[in-house]
Amino acid sequence: MERVQLTTELSYSRYIHGLWRLADWNQTKEETLSLIEHALELGITTFDHADIYGGYTCEELFGEALSLKPSLREQIELVTKCGIVLPSKNRPEHKTHHYNTSRSHIVKSVDRSLKNLQTDYIDTLLIHRPDPYMDPEETAEAFIQLKEAGKVRTFGVSNFKDHQWNMLQSHLPFELVTNQLELSAYQLENFEDGTLNHCQEKRVPPMAWSPLAGGKVFNGEDERSKRLRDTLEKVQKEIGADGIDQVLYAWLLNHPAKIMPIIGSGRKDRITKAVQAMEWKLNHDQWFEILQSSMGHDVP
């Protein structure tokens, strides 16, 4: 498995396993451990969480599985996110859906994540969404406190535009290491508005959530889905891929920004199939044919 270097001391696997739906997979601890080990066998060592996933339950489910074999912690990188506050039966004190990037909230969220994941450090902490009420100086103070305490090794953001990234970065004495973005052949916003270019400018490899567009391309009846599906099937035949899902992954992997797709599946066969997409190379004609079918028109 290819590695992507974020700092001199930290690298991610090119593919990242996402645990957003872990609670929905209804697995035993042993089954989740087996899934972790399967990912590791394929070379996937980086696992993506957020405090809110599964109504604030997924981190704990993962931690319980990891506790069955604690030695695996040395082989993996744990990413988690905070900053979104959701009303939940597990958090009755939360009355409204809002954002909170205050120093106290971030520190408390990390302490809870460490407990739930049954680890004493997080490799990368991300602010989950841009917060219109953010005090970047206070957020930076939380980052510095957590880094000095050894609780978090590196920091990044998720869904940030370039001006939001720059604002937070300007208050930090160290570099943000990644931006987790919605990136797919169906969802082109971050390709078109300069966000991905900003990652390239800063030499920051982005993580891609929903790389398969939430399944829209497979069964969507809107015109964009139909156009894109036809083109993906054409390219699939040309390169010999096993499905259009592999073409969607390959489209991101072939981009020079070193995009790291997040595989959000609890099925071993789908994870294996996604990793196999690393074998497929798209030429310029094929890459742009997919782009233009999604846009619905030729490039300017």
Please, what sign has the CA dihedral across residues 254, 197, 201, 167?
A: negative
From residue 199, how far is each of 13, 154, 284 by CA, in Å?
Answer: 18, 17, 21
Structure tokens at 47: 């696992």
Structure tokens at 86: 């959701």
The candidate with the shortest Cα–Cα distance to 13, out of 4, 24, 25, 26, is 4
Interatomic CA distance for residues 13 and 250, integer angstroms: 16
Interatomic CA distance for residues 108 and 82, integer angstroms: 10
Among 15, 53, 56, 186, the active-site one is 53
Interatomic CA distance for residues 300 and 219, integer angstroms: 29
Q: Let me know if 186 is a catalytic residue.
A: no
Please, what sign has the CA dihedral across residues 256, 44, 145, 85?
A: positive
**Burial of 201 per CB tally in 10 Å (0-12, 13-18, 19+):** exposed
The candidate with the shortest Cα–Cα distance to 13, out of 50, 58, 38, 47, is 47
Answer whether 109's CB lies under 8 Å from 142's CB. Answer: no
Please, what sign has the CA dihedral across residues 96, 82, 248, 188?
A: positive
The residues carrying an active-site annotation are 53
